[in-house]
Structures are given as C-alpha cells and as structure tokens.
Amino acid sequence: MTDRPNILLVLADNLGWGELGCYGGGVLRGAPTPRLDALAGEGLRFTNFNVESDCVPTRSALMTGRHPIRTGALQSVPAGLPQGLVPWEVTLAQLISRQGYATACFGKWHLGDRAGRYPHQRGFDEWYGIPRTTNESMFTATPGFDPSVVPMPHVMAGRVGAPAEERHVYDLEARRRIDGELTEHTIDFMSRQRAAATPFFAYVPLTQLHYPTLPHRDFEGRTHAGEFADAMVEMDFRVGSMLDALDRLDLARNTLVLFGSDNGPEFRRPWRGTAGPWTGTYHTSMEGALRVPFMLRWPGRIAPGGVTDDIVHITDLYPTLAEVAGASVPTDRPIDGVDQLGFFEDPASGSKREGFVYFIKDELRAAKWRTWKMHYVWEPEPNTGPRHLEAPYLFNLVRDPKEETDVNATGDGWARGPIRKMVHAFQQSLKADPPIPPGAPDDYIPQRRSEA
C-alpha cells in the first residue's frame, strides 16, 4: 500500500450546529448519533467552523478555495441553464487527481448540470448522485407537474472520458434510498483503490438532512420521534458504515476523515432544524447559518479528544487538503482559503485565520473577526426582507451568542476598525480581480483589471 494518505470527506446537507449529540443534540433531538459522536472524540472537533449561506456557494467555496462572490456560483438556478463553476476554475478534485489519486464524488453536486460541468468532468474519475438538489424529488408527486417544460429529475452517473448517464428518476422513493446507495458506492470505491494500492479522495456529499427529510424505509419509525429524527439516525449509520469499511480494509490509520455540513439548518417546517445556542438558519448571516458541525480524524497525525473554538472557514479546506495530497494551489487567481494543516495537527498553535467576509449572492451581509461580528444587512429569518443598516450592528459573540445586543456604543466599538480594514482589503481585491458573473459561458476567462 502507498504511504500517501487517503482522504474521505463527508458533507451533510442542512445539518445544523445543534443536531448531533457531540454538539448538544442527539437524544435531545430524539435521535442518538453515536457514530458521529465517537468520530468527534477520535480527532478534533470544531465549534467555530464557518461556511457560506447555502448549498451552491458553500460547495463552490470548498471546490475552489474562493468565496463564491469571486466564482459566480452564488445560488441555484433552473435546470439546464449555465450555473455552478466555469471550466476555468481549478477544483480541489483536479488538484488532488494530478497527484496520482483516484477521485470520486458520490452525492449531491450542485455546481453544474450540463456537459463539461458534471463532477466527472471537473476532476473526479467517477460520480454517482444528483446534479442539483433534493427538493426536486418532490416534483413528480406534485399535481400539475409537467415534464415537457421542466427536465425530469434523475439520479445520474459518470466516468471520466464518457458522457453523464441518467440512471433513474429521482422521486420521493428514490430520495429515501439515495444515501444508502451513496454509501455503497463509496465503500466499493475505497475497496477497489485498496486492491489497486492507489491513494484516494472520496468526496461524499450526502443528501440528509435536506428537505424533504425522509429516511430510508429501513429507518422509518426507528426513533419514534418522526421522520426528521429517523433521517438523522440514518445519516449517523451511513457515516458509521464508511468508517467500518475503512477498518475492514485496514485503511483507517492512513485516512484523513472529515465530516461537516454545507450550511446551517433548514428553516422550512416541518423540516426545521436547530443551530443549538446560535440564532438563525441558512439563507441568513446569523451565526446559526455560518457555524456548522465539523470534525476530522487522522490517527497518528491528529490527537484524539481535541476541541477548538478558533475560526476556520470552508475555503480553508482547499489549500489544506491540497497540502495533504502534495498538491500546489493555483497562483494566477486570489485564493481566499488558508492552509490550516499545521493548526489541525497542533491546535494549540492557533488558526491561521482571524476572520472572513460574508456575502449572500452579490451583497456583503456581514464580517466576522475574532469574537466580533458586524452586520451590514439585518435579516434574522429567511424571507422576512433584508434591512440595510445605516449604522452596522456589532456583536460580541462570546458574551452575546444570540446576537441580540449591539455593542457599537460600548468599549467594543474599537473592533469596527480591524473589521472595516478586512472588508476594505477584500473589496479592493474584487476590483483587482473582478468577479466571474453568474451564468458565465464555458469559455469565460477572467481578466485582471490591470490587464483589461
């Protein structure tokens, strides 16, 4: 077997900070999560891991190490229209694949649903999953649905060098089955690479707990606390099955396992989740949207039982995992992520990041720095209407985790200075390297302002 480390990155969908037992949920939410709780204890658990506002921008940030305001991957658009990442972007999978790794994506992609933009055309050797989002599984059961004007949702598959294939319709029953299928594909992929003595990068963006939050039939009624709790127990089981496979294949010690969520909890009822002590859900700039569960395990490299509240951002995984695989990040474009490998291995050394800017679509909503957060636009609940603030709100997140008391007029007001400097520097970088417009064509190549 190669000594190069394998990477297993599992991304849950709409899993709030407060859902898992190791984050204060679990049995309190009617759903014990023993496998994920154990995983957190076997490595490093993060209480201040931050993402983007929802599915598309977070996945874009993960795959490029760049805030989505730069890449144009700001939100989901109707099927078949240009969306996601233009081919000019260099994905994490491309970086790792160039190092001789076998790469696979099993799950929800949401970064392009047309030829040239599917996962197996963006650095992954193989792919099985859905091109867009889980709520499309509801389409065929909706009165009036017309497949002549809207593409029928499908579970798809692809291998490098071949066109994508539609495997079966993604309806409500398929929605219940899919995470089990993704787990089976992942285990099979890891087994094949073990036999071939090839290091692998397995990216597994699961569909739970995205709405409609429906469990596999094998888990239906398991908790007696409803389908949401049943689905959470299923998710815990699926991750545990992948971990068990690593043990059986004698790969656990040489595999970096990462587990996180793409954004804060769902806000729609009856599928509304919880962010624990934080306020808000995804589609907002509240802490409940930004902070999500995140943990990693790497035996012999990362000590067990660690917990850190240092700020880390989803973009940081791009340069960090590139470093793990021995790859170099592109130097011809701004990369917002910072390499955190040294911090992961030695949490006492501290995060290499002090803060970050936060956009929803193309609008600056907030900026977070150390223990402070400044809101430029106020929208504590999705779809209540954003209120643009004449004077930004400033919160101390340690003393006020619910973001209820503006501290601009107190001694904390000094924190506005470094926050404004951070925001200004980012805005200047957008002028030097103008953002890729949403919906840009495949042949779009950005130009630096100085080259225009």
User: Which residues are marked as active site?
Assistant: 55, 110
Q: How is 156-187 classified by DSSP, letter by letter?
A: EEEETTS--EEEEE--HHHHHHHHHHHHHHHH
Task: Please tell me the distance from the alpha carbon of residue 424 to that of residue 414, in angstroms, as a whole number.
Answer: 16
Q: How is 190-233 classified by DSSP, letter by letter?
A: HHHHHHHT--EEEEEE--TTSSS----GGGTTSSSS-HHHHHHH
Q: Count the Cβ atoms, other than its own, within 10 Å of residue 23.
A: 25
Task: Please tell me the distance from the alpha carbon of residue 284 to that of residue 359, in angstroms, as a whole number.
Answer: 10
DSSP state of 59: H
Closest CA to 49 of 270, 245, 442, 312: 312
| CA 320 to mean position of chain CA atoms | 15
Burial environment of residue 185 by CB neighbours within 10 A (0 to 12, 13 to 18, 19 or more): buried
Closest CA to 70 of 371, 437, 447: 437
**Type of residue numbered 115:** A
Task: Please tell me the distance from the alpha carbon of residue 243 to that of residue 249, in angstroms, as a whole number.
Answer: 10
**Type of residue numbered 294:** F
Q: Count the Cβ atoms, other than its own, within 10 Å of residue 256.
A: 23
Per-residue CA distances from 176 to 135, 219, 221, 258 (Å): 12, 10, 13, 24
Degrees, nearest 5: CA angle 39-40-42: 65
